[in-house]
Amino acid sequence: MTGAVGEADEELAARAFLSRVLEPGDEVGGRWVRELGPLEVVRRLRGRGAALPGVSGRRWDGLRARAAGADPRRDLDTAARAGTRFVAPGDPEWPRQLDDLGDARPIGLWVRGRPSLRMWALRSVAVVGARACTPYGAHMAAALAAGLAERGWVVVSGGAYGIDGAAHRGTLGAGGATVAVLACGVDRPYPRGHTELINRIAEQGLVVGELPPGDHPTPSRFVLRNRVIAALTAGTVVVEAAHRSGSLVTARAAQRLGRHAMGVPGPATSALSAGVHELLRGDAVLVTDAAEVVELVGGIGELAPARRGPVLPRDLLEPGARQVLAALPGRGAADTAEIARGAQTTPEDAIAKLYELRALGYVERLGDGWKLTRQAVASVRDRADPC
């Protein structure tokens, strides 16, 4: 990889080469790149120099075999024809928060779509969860993503079936910005059933991956992809997840990186919410809508509205009248002296408040006493109902 190209192009090609040879999240390879630089690592892998430390002879031979078939110029040309670019550390588009991954940070990212990845990542939230989600989970993911989009946040997910797909669709439906982080080449949408969705994301947003064009996903690559989702965003929301769900890996990675980890609660009897509930028993924060997410990840003053039940007519009474009303028995009548004692006031004050309450339809006279009207009894029962 020498010739007329500049040093920056040489390093970019070297990183593209290494994305074909090293597995995502390979910390040993990341250390080689940090200590020696990508050009020297490529030179060694091509057999020009001693084997690099930290791996067995068998693994070194395997890396050398991969290196023998790598052609970065071909990968870069293939990517360019597919509307994909390769973004490396040091590039103006590189999201610097990925550097928090240390030696496990991506060698580079293949990016499909027009917007700037760095700019979009600055105000982004991950929404992840179960592939085999329930209708409740799909609804919550879509509603949450749409709410975030309406508030100007970018929604990041993994493009998978279930919660991921619902989050992407909810964002697109709200006219918002979304990023799909794939565990394969960005020119090869996976799962295939989401080809149309991922292509639409590429047209309206961004599709991102560590693997070069044409590369396929594996179980380990899905797990390792999750660290990128966690590092890229300000926080991760898990909507539904069983105890061994990969989305919990994303949330825990977010916690290790100092990001916010959030969970949407589900039914206590649902196995698909068991992992979320376990997360919430730890340091994760319970959220139920986009406003509560933004309160955590947003700037100062982006607070969720205060939550309270409906305002009842009795809530509008002044405190003295409420005390007198509360002093009346639920059944039968009471005289003025008894009501005054219950309200901790004088009989004169109690009688004045009782006439006010009668005018408002809360009490009525019954001989020498006072009783609640049917309207007031219903209001008291509604107020006292713990359900």
Domain end residue (candidates: 34, 56, 78): 78
Tens digits of residue pLDDT in 201-236: 999 999 999 999 999 999 999 999 999 999 999 999
Instruction: Give the whole-angstrom CA distance, residue 321 versus residue 353.
Output: 6
Instruction: Looking at the structure, tell me whether residues 317 and 281 fall in a common domain.
Output: no
Question: What's the whole-number mean pLDDT along residues 59-82?
Answer: 95
What pLDDT does 5 receive? 45
Instruction: Looking at the structure, tell me whether residues 284 and 319 fall in a common domain.
Output: no
Instruction: Looking at the structure, tell me whether residues 287 and 324 fall in a common domain.
Output: no
Instruction: Looking at the structure, tell me whether residues 206 and 277 fall in a common domain.
Output: yes
Tens digits of residue pLDDT in 309-350: 665 667 778 999 999 999 999 888 999 999 999 999 999 999
CA distances from 305 to 289, 291, 296 (A): 11, 8, 13
Categorize the per-residue pLDDT at 368 as very low, low, confident or very high, splitting at 50, 70 and 90.
confident
Instruction: Looking at the structure, tell me whether residues 250 and 343 fall in a common domain.
Output: no
Instruction: Give the whole-angstrom CA distance, residue 45 versus residue 52.
Output: 8
Residue 12, pLDDT > 80, answer: yes
Tens digits of residue pLDDT in 264-287: 999 999 999 999 999 999 999 999
What pLDDT does 381 receive? 52
Q: How many domains is the chain built from?
A: 3
pTM: predicted TM-score of the whole model, two decimal places:
0.81
| Residue 127 near residue 237 (C-beta atoms within 8 A) | yes
- Residue 96 inside a domain? The answer is no
- Residue 89 inside a domain? The answer is no
- Residue 196 inside a domain? The answer is yes
Question: What's the whole-number mean pLDDT along residues 357-362?
Answer: 90
Instruction: Looking at the structure, tell me whether residues 285 and 326 fall in a common domain.
Output: no
Domain range enclosing 203:
113-297
Categorize the per-residue pLDDT at 304 as very low, low, confident or very high, splitting at 50, 70 and 90.
low
Instruction: Looking at the structure, tell me whether residues 209 and 118 fall in a common domain.
Output: yes
Other Cβ atoms less than 10 A from the Cβ of 172: the count is 21
Instruction: Give the whole-angstrom CA distance, residue 341 versus residue 193.
Output: 72
Q: What is the CATH number of the domain that holds 291?
A: 3.40.50.450
